[in-house]
Amino acid sequence: MQPPRLPDNEARRLQTLHRLELLDSLPEAGFDRLTELAARLFDVPTALISLVDAHRQWFKSAHGMDCRETPRDVSFCGHVVADDQPLVVEDTQLDACFRDNPLVDRIDGIRFYAGHPLRPLDGHVVGTLCLIDTRPRRFDARQQESLALLAAQAEELIRLHLAHRKAQSRERRHHRQQTLLRVLHQGITDYRALMSGRRLWDFLMEALRELTGSDYALIGEVLHEAEGPALKIHAITDLSWNAQSRRLMEQLRSGDMRLTNPGSLLGRVFAHGDTIITDDLANHPLRGGFPPGHPPIHNYLGVPIVHDGRVIGMYATANSDDGYSPETVAWLEPFNATCALLINLYRQFSERDRIQQEITRARDQAERASRAKSDFLSAMSHELRTPLNAILGFAQLLANGRRDPLSERQQRQVAQIRSSGEHLLALINDILDLSRIEAGRMTLALEAVSVRDICDAALESLAPLAREAAVTLHGPAETADPCVLADPTRLKQVLLNLLSNAIKYNRPEGRVVVTLAEHGDTLRVSVEDTGVGISEARIAELFQPFNRLEAEGSTIEGTGIGLTLTRQLIEQMHGRIGVTSEKDAGSRFWIELRRADDAPAGDPEPPPAALETRFKKEASDA
């Protein structure tokens, strides 16, 4: 037997053959009808459309034959391919080249063969249309011409098959491209909903399966821990086959399990940043053994998700009908970039949520502590006032007793007791008021109040303190009597505090001036002194409780919470307070309240946005 030789253009010929995408394809009616027609026309039992591969001949259509392929080295068609011309053997047993061929030397062996080369693409012979009979026969020139016509028809069918496959491929690419665009668009535009609903990872995994036509997929985040990189799987296709494997899948999905083996198929991706592609997983050197019952895995793709040169995640797919290639990875690059963006957003959202939870816990803890403090201060203030009032009462009885009058020294001592007790009572009252405000238990009755009347009453009350300190008080100028929306008792308390501070922190022969000025629909009351003033760096500390600034070590009496309480009261009346001061030149404290003639009676609402904006601007200017 003489085996067929290889043609000189064998490499290019095989490339052309594989480009046809015909090998191992499913049967097609057009090809089968053509071989049936050939068998009838030439009255032979067998007609074949054969394709000659590197080591076999494969039959796209085999009329009258059950097998689908035979070895190339015993094939008749291999000689047609090698010689690039038709071959007719009218009696194989009389031909020295074929009579000892295994396909001839049997009872039903080949006695007649006629084959015509098929050149559907680029002029390369990829196979034949051939006729086979089990008995010898004549085959004249007219029959050879007829076979050539049928071969041309077979070539046309092959070209149509290729065109159809290309159209299908274009359609699949178009569909995949549309799917990719849809996934990218949804991932970018709906990322907030995906994050909030914790659907991000499942969305990415299902999109990956759809894009690659894969049965299985996973996607995870790479955590760079002290022991080395670890993979936290966020989404994975169910691969379970029994109760134990289902528990393992649940652990993986929950994120409680970390994968850390850097030498596995997954580890080469998440630990080393390698891209792993294989269409023969069973023989891959990194493949680990699968336990009995594990679903079969034929091909595999693992791709790292990289941001700024650092692996932050990975995805993997398996069992794609189309297989995987570097072109697949390149085509998925936009998806990869979107994954990187979404993983970074996921991390930022997670960090934000963690910080928000910590802030919420801290706020709740602070509110509980504040309520506890307010409740404690309120309770203690009530408990302290009862014995303190008794002390003040007995001190007054001692000072005014006529039956057993006190000596001059004792009178001074009792006066000191009364002065200290009254100072302590004022402190307790201020603390009680502040705790009520902070606890939300102080209710103010806002009404139209004459500012002049309140100012006159406060100035009259503090006249003795001013005379003792050699400070001159000047009330507001004799103008119209403006009214503001305020609680009269609390407004007087505010003015008493501002005026007493202006007197106590003044200098001998100093002055305190009260002025009124209208600002649109508000009235500003200013208290200006010629005292020691406050450095600009410490003005922000003025309204902090128990902070007396430079007066901590002085002999000036004070509680350190008067201005804090004043600000709280003014804000409760929907007003504003501010201060300007210069060291050693004096200070000017001002409050602003809504004018009563510009607000509906009993209106407790805060000032409009425009007014509030002006308040903030003037406060910053001040």
In this predicted model, what pLDDT tens digit does every residue of 469-503 receive, in sequence order?
A: 999 999 988 766 889 999 998 899 899 989 998 99
For residues 122 and 27, the answer to whether their CB atoms sit within 8 Å is no
Return the HEC string of 263-275: CCCCHHHHCCCCC
Residue 257's alpha-carbon distances to 228, 252, 286, 347, 498, in angstroms, are 15, 6, 21, 19, 65
pLDDT for 611 equals 39
Query: pLDDT tens across 448-463, in order?
Result: 999 999 999 999 988 9
Cα-to-chain-centroid distance, residue 270 = 21
Token representation of residue 378: 């309120």
For residues 384 and 362, the answer to whether their CB atoms sit within 8 Å is no
Cα(375)–Cα(429) distance, integer angstroms:
14
Q: Residues 553-573, buried b or exposed e (16+ Cβ, 10 A)?
A: eeeeebbbbbbbbbbbbbebb
Cα(218)–Cα(530) distance, integer angstroms:
76
CA dihedral over 279, 283, 284, 290, signed as positive or negative: positive
* DSSP labels, 103-119: TTSSTT---EEEEEEE-
Residue 46's alpha-carbon distances to 28, 113, 162, in angstroms, are 17, 10, 25
Q: What values do phi and psi take at 251, rounded to 5?
A: -65, -45
pLDDT for 425 equals 73
Cβ-proximal residues to 588 (8 Å cutoff; 6+ apart), any chain: 526, 527, 528, 529, 579, 580, 581
Helices 141-189 and 29-42, interaxial angle, to 10°? 180
pLDDT for 155 equals 96
In degrees, rounded to 5, the angle at the alpha carbon of residue 235 between the alpha carbons of residues 246 and 328 is: 120
SS3 category, 96: coil
Helices 408-438 and 333-400, interaxial angle, to 10°? 150
Query: Could you say which residues of the chain have pLDDT below 70?
Result: 173-174, 195-198, 289, 374, 377-378, 380-382, 423, 427, 430-441, 479-480, 545-560, 598-622
Which has the closest alpha carbon to 20: 55, 46, 58? 58
pLDDT for 85 equals 96
Token representation of residue 343: 């993983």
* Residue given tokens 């309240």 in the structure block: 593
pLDDT for 439 equals 62
Cα(339)–Cα(191) distance, integer angstroms:
11
Percent of the chain with pLDDT over 70: 88
Residue 94's alpha-carbon distances to 98, 106, 111, 112, 444, in angstroms, are 8, 15, 9, 11, 126
CA dihedral over 222, 223, 224, 229, signed as positive or negative: negative
DSSP 8-class letter at 421:
H
pTM of the entire predicted model: 0.46
Q: Is 196 exposed, middle or buried (0-12, 13-18, 19+ CB in 10 A)?
A: exposed
DSSP 8-class letter at 595:
B
pLDDT for 242 equals 87
For residues 562 and 430, the answer to whether their CB atoms sit within 8 Å is yes
pLDDT for 434 equals 65
Q: Beta-carbon neighbour count of residue 308 at 10 Å?
A: 7
Cα(385)–Cα(425) distance, integer angstroms:
7
Helices 488-504 and 451-468, interaxial angle, to 10°? 30
